[in-house]
Amino acid sequence: MGNAAHAIPGQGLVVQQSIGQSSVTGVFANSSVRISQGFLRGIRVVSTEIERPFEAIAFPNSFSDRISFRFTIEHQEATQARIYDTLGKLVYEATHQPKNKEIQLNLPYLATGVYVAHLRSGNKFVQLRIIKKP
């Protein structure tokens, strides 16, 4: 006895409820929703596409004027870089085209301290902590 509701990426919403029946008493499904009620054996979902994580390495970290981000997977798409200070204030924003899986930012004007870098490309996102030294 129990119920469950969860979203399956690319497949929509699945809602299930079990009330102790010996079989499924009703199923409604369309392209984005599946609802079933009754005895449930569980729905096995197998993803046919495995996406590698979107990760980057910041170097040198700590940096003086320039910092580079190297992507750990093949990456050619335009990437939006945003840098935030410790108070959450946006201090840098620009879009870069990676060359050899890498982008470089010139940030000589930033004050010494810790920052958070957000790198976004399409639906891919990574967040990194970077340190600006004097």
Q: Band of the pLDDT at 64, cuts 50, 70, 90?
A: very high
CATH class of domain segment(s) 56-132: mainly beta
Give the chain's mean pLDDT.
78
104 contact partners, CB below 8 Å, separation of at least 6:
66, 67, 68, 69, 96
pLDDT at 51: 57
Distance CA 26, CA 14 (A): 14
CB-side neighbour CA atoms (13 Å) of 13: 6
Higher pLDDT, 74 or 65: 65
CA 22, distance to chain mean position in Å, is 41
- Token pair for 84: 């935030």
pLDDT at 1: 46
Distance CA 91, CA 17 (A): 49
pLDDT at 106 over 90: yes
Which residue type, as a one-letter code, is found at position 128?
L
Edge-to-edge order in the sheet of strand 2-8: 2-8, 12-18, 33-38, 24-29
pLDDT at 54: 77
Distance CA 42, CA 4 (A): 10
Distance CA 54, CA 108 (A): 27
Percent of the chain exceeding pLDDT 90 equals 46
> pTM, whole model, 2 decimals?
0.60
pLDDT at 66 over 50: yes
Structural domain boundaries in the chain: 2-38, 56-132
